[in-house]
Structure 1
Amino acid sequence: MNGVPAYVQFHDIASYFKLLGQIVEKERPKVYVYWSMFFYASFGVCHPDSAQILYKSSAPKAYGSGGAYRYLRDWIGDGLLISDGKKWERNRRLLTPGFHFEILKPYVEVYNSVTDIFLEKLKYYAKSGEAVDIFPRVALATLDTILRCAFSYEGKLQDQGSKHPYVHAVNRLSYLTLSRCLKPWFQIDFIYQFSNEGKELKQLCDYSHEFSNRIIKDRQQILKKEGLPTKRHLHFLDILLTAKDENGIGLSDEDIRAEVETFMFEGHDTVASAISWSIYCLGRYPEEQEKVYTEISELLVDELEVTWENLQEMPHLTAFVKESMRMFAPVPGTARLLTSPMQFGDIIVPAGVHIDISIHSIHHHPDVWPEHEVFKPERFLKEDITDRHPYSYIPFAAGSSYIPFAAGSSEITYDRHPYSYIPFAAGSRNCIGQNFAMNEIKVIISRLVQRYKVSLVDGHNYEINPELIMRATHGIKVILENRFMEKEWQIV
């Protein structure tokens, strides 16, 4: 493809992102081609114009041709993240009520309860001055949240130390899945299953499936004994267990487990990434942290808990979180598989080609985001949007498939490209849990900054590690300082 940047991808995802970033910064392309070990070519998009073409198409997730989606199937099954066609349409339709406005509203109480424990677990570090790697703590809190809210499961996860076996399994499974994508010899199933990585992946998948099956079985027993709740809207797992389509057919046991696996992974790990990097930004940009603190302290006054109404009154915090997710996209990229030729400007890509969507590159494209390496939350405030494309901010979707934030009066009409800000993808396959995620993030960050002042550790390397989600190679270590006397923060 003449005029299209091309390069060779080796087996280091960090180097891949670094090289792609250099290409985007220097050549400012909309598409690119990369070769894996010189013989396997893939196509990529790194500009919202190209992303829009792809997201508005019916191209399926690229698991049939290889790539992360194919290998995720062994772990999370054929759930909403991976499935396509009529199965995806049916299951999406059945599961959408689980994220209805009336379901989300009482979850704020759960967010606060989980955050109470989270903040108490950090008290030791604030008192001692010892640095804490915040990501594992946040991951436990978000896993606790998704299990309570979506699956009515309370396992006191945050009391089980800094790591939980499931969180560890997810971390390793994410790494192993991406590692396999980057090693051509592991594309052959026969070779992979006898490798050390293949054996480890199977063992971790078995544990993850066992954990999911236990949650499902426990809920089935409760429903059998007590019956369905009388409330109008059911929780996510109750919908999985009882929903039937227009033909009276419910989900199979395999479908139920796949959706549970999918939502436990997506509902805790991606949110943990967004929260953890937002906390990093609090420490990295102290002036912005104080702006957020001022807003929250004036809003909550003497109250410790965030209410549903409060979530609509946090414009600076909301802008801060959005800019954090622009800088550090929780999901660095997604992919599609073309089932028919597709045109990107003057370039026609044939059917059967695997296409990567580099969300990270889109969020840092200099033609879309001036001063893209500068942290500017005001990008997402009303006074700073007049000269941008109306579709430049779509964290969870745009167009006919856009779902308004359940608690986001700070949402405004943007004059930017609809596909220039897509931390949780876009289009008809946007994140079904978008409102759930944003509300949870805002509760945890607001409560944290209300109680603790965050700073970074001098000399620590905060290098990004873009696996399936955005992690940090050496952890996100922060130092916490109590803003008030300890006695003022007694939590009942």
Structure 2
Amino acid sequence: MGFFRMPQLDLSWLGLRLEASSPWLLLLLIGASWLLARVLTQTYIFYRTYHHLCDFPQPPKWNWFLGHLGMITPTEHGLKEVTNLVATYPQGFMTWLGPIIPIITLCHPDIIRSVLNASASVALKEVVFYSFLKPWLGDGLLLSDGDKWSSHRRMLTPAFHFNILKPYVKIFNDSTNIMHAKWQHLASGGSARLDVFENISLMTLDSLQKCVFSFDSNCQENPSEYISAILELSALVTKRYHQLLLHIDSLYQLTCSGRRFHKACHLVHSFTDAVIQDRRRTLPSKHEDDVLKAKAKSKTLDFIDVLLLSKDEDGKELSDEDIRAEADTFMFEGHDTTASGLSWILYNLARHPEYQERCRQEVQELLRDRESTEIECSCAVFLRDDLAQLPFLTMCIKESLRLHPPVTVISRRCTQDIVLPDGRVIPKGVICIINIFATHHNPTVWPDPEVYDPFRFDPENIKDRSPLAFIPFSAGPRNCIGQTFAMNEMKVALALTLLRFRVLPDDKEPRRKPELILRAEGGLWLRVEPLSTQ
């Protein structure tokens, strides 16, 4: 009786001998199994992600290929589209960037809480756009994450303690006075039409240079190479964002804009490095507390001083590269955002003269018996200084920051699933947009959201409102570390401006333009009239 013999696998076409076929066959099977497992895993992840995404409503797409690409543009029309979307989807919505990239947009305080309050290691900053800033800002607080971010955040917090911030109010006075002297000259004929954003941006840069470096460049009166470089870097980053091909670093470096960006980065870094090295040589070899007390007493403590003296829990100091990154980050984040906020505040008060006059009367009453018209901050208790005695002016500032937030959106990419209060899930790895502008214009949170009404921030009216309904400085672990600095500067500049000028609207209504910060197309033009001429 014959036996049936199974044919052997012929691998000669692979160049393998019969005796070698078994190990190679095993390796082939292992590879195929691994590939199959990967395909099945990715299929499961895609199905699971898609299942969770289906819980979020989405507006109609252009088509299957474009998705919602181009639906929300960085223009006045785009912001109006956001206003319409938040009225239709007040809890948030989902859009597709092309056929395969989902983006979840959240715009209600009850929903954004889960993402904003997540730890910094879970809700990471989405880095596609921020990566353009990396050559300039390095691993500062804006761009770093993980343990480095946590360590630096703890080390930098003392730099924004009220004892450190108090002397800066004198600097805010001085810089605002320089700006006003220019306005007085321009308005010598009775009034002047000017781009307040351009003027205020120079003023905030002037203040920051003095607060960060103790350096006076007279940039409001004479051209400054360093200040010009910062303004150019901001403009180049914004320009690059709108040119998709230039998102590729190797291509961008070959362009004229890329070379200008590199040159401006080198100039800014050289300036910061020189200040750091000079300060290291002159810093006295005393105990940290003694240095802080001595400098604070003489009102000479600046941001670089605090960074040089900072140490972590193990006594480790910041490197010169880390100090440069944090100083450059503060210069970048501190000038445009404050300039945007203050410019739109003046715009809103120009359109509402009754609120402008009430603010002016509040400032005049505060300074009635003063020989000097400087806003002071020299009291022993910070909460009882001048800036805390301007409640209505503060309400007007906050309502303007609600209506025109300097930063309109922030983005996160979570490292794990985030469960929302209503049971829906934001899948791991999906880009999540916290739309600050939409949250501030959400009609289910703010009745008549397009109306400028400072009384929304009357203490009686905020009792039952979620603290996440108003987030111009973000919220949670990665909120803006410099928000008190920014509010103090805006209060000083606004109070002194209303004391000296009447602000009037321009004939042409501005068109909003959300970029790195909220600007106006062609500048934000207003008219100012010196009060002394009336």
TM-score range, shorter chain: 0.7 to 0.9
User: What are the superposed Cα offsets for residues 193-217 of structure 1, whole Å, 9 maximum, x if unpaired?
Assistant: 3344434433333333233334334
Q: Number of matched residues? A: 454
Q: Which residue of 1 aligns with 2:144?
A: 83
Change (3 A) 1:19 1:108: same
Q: Which residues of 2 match residues 341-380 of structure 1 at below 5 A?
A: 341-344=417-420, 345-380=422-457
User: What are the superposed Cα offsets for residues 335-367 of structure 1, whole Å, 9 maximum, x if unpaired?
Assistant: 111100112334322211221211111111111
Rounded to whole Å, the distance in 2 between the matches of 1:99 and 1:81 is 16
Task: Give the TM-score normalised by structure 2.
Answer: 0.79
Q: How large is the RMSD of aligned CA atoms in angstroms?
A: 2.6
Q: Which residue of 1 aligns with 2:402?
A: 326
Q: Which residue of 2 aligns with 1:43?
A: 104
Residue pair 1:59, 1:339 contacting (<8 A) in 2 also: no
- Structure 2's unaligned 5+ residue stretches are 1-52, 62-67, 378-384
User: What are the superposed Cα offsets for residues 129-176 of structure 1, whole Å, 9 maximum, x if unpaired?
Assistant: 231111121111111112212322222222225xx5555544443344
Q: Which residue of 2 aligns with 1:388?
A: none
Residue pair 1:28, 1:365 contacting (<8 A) in 2 also: no
Residue pair 1:63, 1:82 contacting (<8 A) in 2 also: no
* Structure 1 residue 9: Cα displacement: 2.9
Which AA in structure 1 matches 2:485? Answer: F
Rounded to whole Å, the distance in 2 between the matches of 1:61 and 1:423 is 22
Q: Judge which range, 196-205 or 103-112, deviates more.
A: 196-205
User: What are the superposed Cα offsets for residues 87-141 of structure 1, whole Å, 9 maximum, x if unpaired?
Assistant: 1111111111111121122222222122221211111222232311111211111
Q: Judge which range, 206-215 or 165-174, deviates more.
A: 165-174
Q: Which residues of 2 match residues 444-455 of structure 1 at below 5 A?
A: 444-455=493-504
Q: Which residue of 1 aligns with 2:313?
A: 246
Rounded to whole Å, the distance in 2 between the matches of 1:217 and 1:384 is 51
Q: Which residue of 2 aligns with 1:489?
A: none
- Secondary structure of the 1:34 match is strand
User: What are the superposed Cα offsets for residues 400-447 of structure 1, whole Å, 9 maximum, x if unpaired?
Assistant: xxxxxxxxxxxxxx3211111010111122221221111111111000
Q: Which residue of 2 aligns with 1:404?
A: none
Q: Which residues of 2 match residues 398-477 of structure 1 at below 5 A?
A: 414-458=463-507, 460-477=508-525
Which AA in structure 2 matches 1:5? Answer: Q
Q: Which residue of 1 aligns with 2:222?
A: 160
* Structure 1 residue 372: Cα displacement: 0.6
* Structure 1 residue 16: Cα displacement: 4.0
- Secondary structure of the 2:220 match is helix
Q: Which residue of 2 aligns with 1:396?
A: none
Instruction: Give yes or no for the alignment of 1:190 onto 2:265.
Output: no
Which AA in structure 1 matches 2:416? Answer: S
Instruction: Give yes or no for the alignment of 1:202 onto 2:242.
Output: no
Which AA in structure 1 matches 2:142? Answer: L
- Secondary structure of the 1:251 match is coil
Change (3 A) 1:63 1:351: closer
Task: Give the TM-score normalised by structure 1.
Answer: 0.85
Residue pair 2:57, 2:89 contacting (<8 A) in 1 also: no
* Structure 1 residue 36: Cα displacement: 3.0
Rounded to whole Å, the distance in 1 between the matches of 2:123 and 2:248 is 17
Return the match for 2:177 from 82, 95, 116. 116
* Structure 1 residue 66: Cα displacement: 4.0
Which AA in structure 2 matches 1:357? Answer: I
Q: Judge which range, 286-295 or 109-118, deviates more.
A: 109-118
Change (3 A) 1:218 1:140: farther
- Secondary structure of the 1:292 match is helix
Residue pair 1:115, 1:447 contacting (<8 A) in 2 also: yes
Which AA in structure 2 matches 1:40? Answer: I
Rounded to whole Å, the distance in 2 between the matches of 1:85 and 1:23 is 34
Which AA in structure 2 matches 1:313? Answer: Q
Instruction: Give yes or no for the alignment of 1:213 onto 2:264.
Output: no
- Secondary structure of the 2:470 match is coil
- Secondary structure of the 1:419 match is helix
Which AA in structure 1 matches 2:457? Answer: F
Rounded to whole Å, the distance in 2 between the matches of 1:180 and 1:38 is 23
* Structure 1 residue 329: Cα displacement: 0.4
Residue pair 2:86, 2:92 contacting (<8 A) in 1 also: no
Q: Which residue of 1 aligns with 2:375?
A: 306
Rounded to whole Å, the distance in 2 between the matches of 1:170 and 1:361 is 29
Structure showing greater Rg: 2
Change (3 A) 1:140 1:60: farther
Q: Judge which range, 250-259 or 313-322, deviates more.
A: 250-259
Residue pair 2:197, 2:524 contacting (<8 A) in 1 also: yes
Return the match for 1:268 from 335, 355, 358. 335
Change (3 A) 1:181 1:354: farther
- Secondary structure of the 2:445 match is coil
Q: Which residues of 2 match residues 162-181 of structure 1 at below 5 A?
A: 164-181=224-241
Residue pair 1:9, 1:16 contacting (<8 A) in 2 also: no
Q: Which residue of 2 aligns with 1:139?
A: 201
Rounded to whole Å, the distance in 1 between the matches of 2:100 and 2:250 is 20
Change (3 A) 1:157 1:100: same
Which AA in structure 2 matches 1:330? Answer: P
Rounded to whole Å, the distance in 2 between the matches of 1:183 and 1:351 is 28
Change (3 A) 1:23 1:172: farther
Rounded to whole Å, the distance in 2 between the matches of 1:247 and 1:482 is 56
Q: Judge which range, 219-228 or 145-154, deviates more.
A: 219-228
- Secondary structure of the 1:122 match is helix
- Secondary structure of the 1:382 match is coil
Q: Which residue of 2 aligns with 1:5?
A: 58
- Secondary structure of the 1:424 match is coil
* Structure 1 residue 229: Cα displacement: 6.3
Rounded to whole Å, the distance in 2 between the matches of 1:373 and 1:258 is 38
User: What are the superposed Cα offsets for residues 19-58 of structure 1, whole Å, 9 maximum, x if unpaired?
Assistant: 2222112x13322223334443322212212221111112
Which AA in structure 2 matches 1:231? Answer: A
Rounded to whole Å, the distance in 2 between the matches of 1:187 and 1:96 is 34
- Structure 1's unaligned 5+ residue stretches are 386-413, 487-492
* Structure 1 residue 68: Cα displacement: 2.0
Rounded to whole Å, the distance in 1 between the matches of 2:80 and 2:238 is 16
